[in-house]
A and B are shown apart, each in its own frame.
Chain A
Amino acid sequence: MTAPADLHRITGRAWIFGDSIDTDAMYPGFAMKLDTAEAARHVFYDLRPGWTEQVRRGDVVVAGRNFGVGSSRPVATLLKHLGVSALVAEEFNSLFLRNAINNGLPAITVPDVRNHINEGDELTVHLSQGWLSSGDVRIEFAPLPRMVLDILDAGGLIPRLVRDGYLPEEQKAAAVR
């Protein structure tokens, strides 16, 4: 049986983005008329056209300050659909951070991360031990509170609600929409 702590270790290839990347840049209004698979094709549609063809399963999105300012639309469902395994930012908008965690997508705050990580670098993060490493670089960060890690451990809020008997079992695997 795998020790729970190992589930907190994530390795992936970094994509580097800037400051104040807003939700409309990742999940534009017109994409809200589309199902998840279609909408996911429009992530960063204007900021970095073609990115959704390049991103691979397990990749990590690394961004600057104020990441995800804007809407409550669940961008994390699109990023997960594209295979993104974690978000790392120098600072998150709190609504965006919650949306990621609540949808089972780890999101960690590492101030100045872009001073140490370049695009394409392979990096490893440990959610509960609070470290990020890449090559010779190792950075410590404050791990998420236990109450929040519990949500990630359950795979997000919806699987947890199923586990706790609030939602029927068959919804556990159901994709949104």
Chain B
Amino acid sequence: MIEKILARSSGEKEVEAGDTVACAVDMNVLIDMMFQYWHEPLRIADPDKTAIIMDHAVPAPTLADAQSGIVARRFAAKFGIDRFYDVGRHGICHQVIAENALALPGQVLTCTDSHTCAGGAYNTAARGLGPAEIIAILCTGRTWFTVGPTFRYELIGELPKGVSGKDVFLHIAGTWGDATNHNLEFGGPGLASIPMNDRRTIATQAAEISADFATFGVDETCAAFLAAHDAADYTPADPDSDAYYADVRTVDLSGLEPYVARPGRVSNNAVPISHVETRPVNQGFIGSCANGQLDDLRIAAEILDGRSVAPGTRLIVTPASQAVYSDAVRLGYVQKIVDAGAVVTNSTCGACFGYHLGVVGDGEVCLTASTRNFRGRMGSPNAEIYMASTATVAASAITGHITDPRTEEL
């Protein structure tokens, strides 16, 4: 799948693992943080293949972030970049990319954020790059990729109730560990039972096992999602029937239960919730590009409805975009979440990267439905960050300790 996209993009007939190819980029996304590392070009390749999304630090929590905003606005105006998602139209870039169909099947998308592999949910060769490289693509419209070998995840069975894409990902990370310099490909008969929000959670988190690209095929569910977001004129990339994989790994969705990753990393460090220690939770967090989607707020609202966050526990909920926030208000999710004693923040990357709106302190235990559980990621290096699904975090916020959302001790 990924070889096909990179071959198309590089103008080669075919490419294979080990090749280094120069590719044309279909969409290049700049985020607010990169304006801290800014070099203003004299000319750019194509304003129509460029988007600017304000996400990590909005509204500006520091003077430096405020200054970055000024630079971004001036740059967007000067070069006529229409796809500028400024504060008010903002959101976490991978959410805004999805809402506006900036990631299209068979295309190449680049962005200054490591979770850009999220776009693979839409069959896009999407990956995160550093600020200097994004500036180079802005100027030239091109970059290079070394094609890595691919692991195929063959999904069978159906996702059980109460088990989500997060749990699928944590099962994969816990079972097979790192996929450094490899691509991930998801498919198989079980895919149909995985909704688009869960596919994006899985694709997003590929970065956590150090993968390059993570792609899903375009099935009816994906095509319907794209049509609902006015995507048109795309050519999906499907794997050949004789495609070579470094490994084919079968995931039986029917047998999965909620998973929890212990602090530090997800690779070889995630276990079924029945195997995890019962830790008290000081802070629950539901948010980020992985789990700040409308479905996450719906799930949180359903679990929290009529209940209360436990004394001694905080629950922070951060919608992934202004659009998610607006929908969640309209649908009544925000009311239920707030009435339970949780905090709903502005949409931003916020606490996920330990920058603002829910940083954790020394000795605290955080259970997070976000992207990353590195030591120190969400604040103090002396805090412990466990990772689980939105449902698990919401259920645990009610009991005050790590709790299986399928149990009814709630």
Task: Give A contacts to B, CB under 8 Å.
Answer: 20, 22-25, 28-30, 32-33, 45-46, 65-66, 69-74, 76-77, 91-95, 98-99, 102-103, 145, 147-148, 156-158, 160-161, 164-168, 171, 174, 176-177
Contacts and interface: CB of A to CB of B under 8 A. Distances in A.
Given A72-B113, A158-B39, A161-B41, A166 B376 contact: no
A71 B354 CA distance: 13
Contacts of A91: 180-181
B112 A29 contact: no
A29 B352 CA distance: 10
Contact of B372 (A70, A158, A160): A70
Looking at chain B's contact residues, is the secondary structure mostly helix, strand, loop, or mixed? loop
B25 to A, nearest CB: 14
Interface string B262-274: 0001010000000
A76 B353 CA distance: 19
Given A29-B353, A156-B132, A161-B39, 20 more contacts: A20-B267, A22-B374, A24-B372, A30-B379, A46-B381, A70-B374, A72-B129, A73-B33, A74-B37, A93-B180, A93-B210, A95-B114, A95-B127, A99-B133, A102-B132, A147-B22, A157-B135, A158-B39, A167-B42, A177-B36
Contacts of B36: 32, 176-177
- Counting from the closest, the 5 A-B pairs by CB-CB distance are A29-B354, A166-B139, A99-B130, A46-B381, A145-B20
Give the interface centre of A65, A103, A167 by most chain B CB atoms within 10 Å: A167
Given A93-B210, A171-B39, A102 B130 contact: yes
Contact of B133 (A29, A98, A176): A98
Contacts of A168: 40, 42
Given A98-B129, A177-B37, A147 B20 contact: yes
Residue from the set A32, A156, A158 with the largest chain B CB neighbour count within 10 Å: A32
Contacts of B39: 158, 161, 167, 171, 174
B129 A95 contact: yes
B335 interface: no
B377 A24 contact: yes
Nearest to B19: A145
Contact of B135 (A33, A148, A161, A174): A161
B178 interface: yes
Given A33-B62, A94-B181, A177-B37, A157 B136 contact: yes
A166 B180 contact: no
B148 interface: yes
Contacts of B375: 22, 24-25, 46
B22 to A, nearest CB: 7
A25 B132 contact: no
11 contacts: A29-B379, A33-B62, A45-B381, A70-B114, A74-B130, A77-B37, A98-B130, A102-B130, A147-B22, A167-B41, A167-B139
Contact of B132 (A23, A92, A103): A103
Contacts, number: 146
Contacts of A30: 354-355, 379
B146 A166 contact: no
B20 A148 contact: yes
A74 B212 CA distance: 17
A155 B178 CA distance: 31
A94 B378 CA distance: 23
Interface string B249-278: 000000000000000010100000000000
Nearest to A177: B36
Contacts of A20: 178, 265, 267
A166 B42 contact: yes
B131 interface: yes
Contact of A95 (B22, B128, B139): B128
A28 B378 CA distance: 9
A66 B180 contact: yes
Given A22-B374, A177-B36, A102 B133 contact: yes
Nearest to B179: A66
Contacts of A177: 36-37, 64
Contacts of A46: 375-376, 381
B140 interface: yes
B13 interface: no
Contacts of A103: 130, 132
B172 to A, nearest CB: 16
Contact of B146 (A33, A69, A73, A145): A145
Contacts of A174: 39
Contacts of B245: none
B43 interface: yes
B144 interface: yes
A165 to B, nearest CB: 7
A108 B133 CA distance: 19
Contacts of B132: 74, 99, 102-103, 156-158
Given A20-B178, A72-B113, A95-B128, A33 B355 contact: yes
Interface in B127-161: 127-133, 135-136, 139-140, 144, 146, 148
Contacts of A157: 132-133, 135-136
Nearest to B378: A29
Contacts of B37: 74, 77, 176-177
Given A20-B178, A147-B20, A28 B354 contact: yes
